[in-house]
Chains A and B, each alone.
Chain A
Amino acid sequence: EAQVTQNPRYLITVTGKKLTVTCSQNMNHEYMSWYRQDPGLGLRQIYYSMNVEVTDKGDVPEGYKVSRKEKRNFPLILESPSPNQTSLYFCASSLQGQGTTIGGYTFGSGTRLTVV
């Protein structure tokens, strides 16, 4: 089944403890992106990647890192998480940038992160 898989689904951590949220897609998509979703703020783009070894900042990149060493994986790294990074995170992928495929973006199921 074509899908984007995020892990973990739920995570509670403490301030300052480094964590990684994994994202993997099995559709051979070039483009991948991370978003965070907060009440009243919609989805905001954190980072995106047009292809392997190519990453760019979205609208809210502060406090996050990403890497794209291989096509299928696009992990989101929080080096020193803070409470304001408590949010619902989504990974998405598509064949090309701008979602110019028939199917648009395929989203993962989300990771609910709580930083205490």
Chain B
Amino acid sequence: SQQGEEDPQALSIQEGENATMNCSYKTSINNLQWYRQNSGRGLVHLILIRSNEREKHSGRLRVTLDTSKKSSSLLITASRAADTASYFCATFNTNAGKSTFGDGTTLTVKP
């Protein structure tokens, strides 16, 4: 299976609820990033967490990283309909330049 796998593949919640997406990876990384993609559009960078960090916040986003379990989670609090999109994690390993993206989690936030 591919490095940087997201779980779940699809998530549907009501506006105001929290959304949690998980990402697992296989090899050592330098950093892990989360991206958002609206249908058919380019990816937009959300947040970066380095391998020596455990948690990071940005607005309504909270990212955790557990390098011992090779996993990360993205929490979106108080979700809004505008958060509806696909979310991807991407790992960047010590082989400078190579990156691996997961298949993504499709989030639907119902108003």
Contacts and interface: CB of A to CB of B under 8 A. Distances in A.
5 contacts: A98-B97, A100-B92, A103-B45, A107-B43, A109-B42
Given A98-B30, A99-B33, A100-B31, A45 B100 contact: yes
Nearest to A98: B92
Interface stretch (B59-67, B70-78, B101-109): B101-109
B45 A105 contact: yes
Contacts of B92: 98-100
Contacts of B96: 50, 97-98
Contacts of A48: 97-99
User: Lowest 7 CB-CB distances: which A-B pairs, in order?
Assistant: A104-B45, A107-B42, A43-B101, A98-B92, A42-B103, A97-B96, A97-B97
A45 B102 CA distance: 11
Interface residues of A, number: 32
Interface in A53-96: 56, 58-59, 88, 90, 92
Contacts of A110: 40-42
A103 B33 CA distance: 10
A42 B42 contact: no
Contacts of A105: 33, 35, 43, 45, 90, 99
B99 A45 contact: yes
A7 interface: no
Interface in A32-58: 33, 35, 40-45, 48, 50, 56, 58
